[in-house]
Amino acid sequence: MHDSADDLRAVTLHNGVTMPSIAFGTAFGDWVGATDFQGFLPEQAWRAVTLALDNGYRAFDGARVYGTERIVGTLFGQRFASGELTREELFITTKLAHPAAPPHINISHKRTWDADKVGDIAQRVRDDMVDTLDDLGLGYVDLLLVHWPGSFGMNTTGDPDFPRQARATIWRTFCELADKGAARAIGVSNFTIRHLRQLMEDVPEPERRPVVNQVEIHPYCRDPELEAFCRERGIVVTAYAPFASGAFGLLQDPALVGIAERHGKTTGQVVLRWHVQSGRTALPKTSKAKRMGENRDIYDFALSDEEMRAIDALGAGETRRTCPDPSNVV
């Protein structure tokens, strides 16, 4: 899926759009229970995104629910104004249609919704897209994703097919937004094989299939079956929380430490190299300038087949997730 074995820096999506392999994540806060505060802290984006731009990042992964789009858009705008940056140099991803969040997260109900609580799903998606573009100060995004396949709670409609129909409605609206030029490419996030199969049956035109499925993948959380399914259909898999959001002591795992020492790299670089060498793209996030440079400097070494297998094997035990398990979404 990468442009060539020698150049892992970008992938070409099935609609011909080129996407960088590494994008800077713009979700700030805590949702894995490391602190008492559980929710988004968009104020952290001001410094981190400034440093990321200074350190050469041109691809950014955002979402309406993160509350950072106004900040990120303002920071882009300052550089557009100074002539330092042009729109065409950026690759901007956003996500819409996040369901009402789990109760421990203190986020705004205006940025989330359950499809069964919305009168007109298509209109809600269009309205959210306008708000997102207004906040970003952009005319279009490069990639627009369905954030989650559905609600974390119960389907209260009494119609067992409702969640599937809601996804199809959201997707047809995304197709319409892409046709109007509001997004250069459209995809999904947190979709399982079942969700993908249903979507591709409901909107069967091959060119309408998602270009990307963005899912939680790190050495402690893998789904080889899902990755193979996507690969066979030309759907790029993007790893979110590529370092497990800093949880579970992942970056101190002795297997990763050993491999990193052998290559004279950090464990973070080894994990990102493993992601791109596996054919994925990834979304690392850090507040520290030194690590921003480190996380882009992964193209001058290669992991052996044995090292790749050793890292794959770390995920063979119990899956450790930072976000809810999407297979519970009906």
Ligand X SMILES: NC(=O)c1ccc[n+]([C@@H]2O[C@H](COP(=O)([O-])OP(=O)(O)OC[C@H]3O[C@@H](n4cnc5c(N)ncnc54)[C@H](OP(=O)(O)O)[C@@H]3O)[C@@H](O)[C@H]2O)c1
Numbered residues of the known binding site for substrate: 147
d(CA 130, CA 70): 13
Applying CB under 6 A, which of residues 151, 190, 278, 281 lies at the interface with ligand X? 190
* Contact yes or no for 256/219 (Cβ under 8 A): yes
Applying CB under 6 A, which of residues 14, 167, 291, 296 lies at the interface with ligand X? 291
Residue 220 annotated in active site: no
Closest among 327, 227, 324 to 275, alpha carbons compared: 227
Q: Does 244 bind ligand X (CB under 6 A)?
A: yes
d(CA 204, CA 202): 6
CB neighbour list of residue 7: distance below 8 Å, 6 or more residues apart: none
Distances (CA, A) of 25 to 87, 92, 111, 125, 138: 18, 11, 18, 22, 18
Q: Does 294 bind ligand X (CB under 6 A)?
A: yes
| Cα angle value 277/3/55 (rounded, 5°) | 70
Nearer to ligand X, 300 or 305 (CB): 300
Q: How far is the CB of 278 from ligand X (least distance, A)?
A: 16
Q: Does 142 bind ligand X (CB under 6 A)?
A: no
Applying CB under 6 A, which of residues 136, 183, 283, 303 lies at the interface with ligand X? 283
User: For the packed helices 162-179 and 121-136, what is the interaxial angle rounded to 10 degrees?
Assistant: 50
Annotated binding site: 147
Candidates 49-57, 152-160, 175-183, 280-288: pick the segment binding ligand X (CB under 6 A). Answer: 280-288
Q: How far is the CB of 189 from ligand X (least distance, A)?
A: 4
Classify residue 150 by its DSSP letter.
S
* Torsion angle (degrees, nearest 10) of CA 147, 151, 153, 155: 180
* Contact yes or no for 95/62 (Cβ under 8 A): yes
Catalytic residue among 57, 66, 220, 240: 66
Q: How far is the CB of 295 from ligand X (least distance, A)?
A: 5
Distances (CA, A) of 20 to 40, 61, 248, 263, 325: 26, 11, 28, 24, 27
Applying CB under 6 A, which of residues 68, 112, 173, 245 lies at the interface with ligand X? 245
Q: How far is the CB of 93 from ligand X (least distance, A)?
A: 8
Q: Does 191 bind ligand X (CB under 6 A)?
A: no
Nearer to ligand X, 244 or 303 (CB): 244
Residue ranges of alpha helices (H) inside the chain are 45-54, 69-82, 121-136, 162-179, 193-202, 224-232, 254-263, 267-277, 289-296, 305-314
Applying CB under 6 A, which of residues 67, 150, 210, 242 lies at the interface with ligand X? 242
Q: Encoding tokens for residue 267?
A: 């464990």
Candidates 11-19, 219-227, 257-265, 288-296: pick the segment binding ligand X (CB under 6 A). Answer: 288-296
Candidates 19-27, 109-117, 161-169, 193-201: pick the segment binding ligand X (CB under 6 A). Answer: 19-27
Nearer to ligand X, 24 or 129 (CB): 24
Residues marked as catalytic: 66
Q: Where along the sequence are the contacts to ligand X (CB under 6 A)?
A: 25-27, 61, 147, 189-190, 214, 240-246, 251, 266, 268, 283-288, 291, 294-295, 322-323
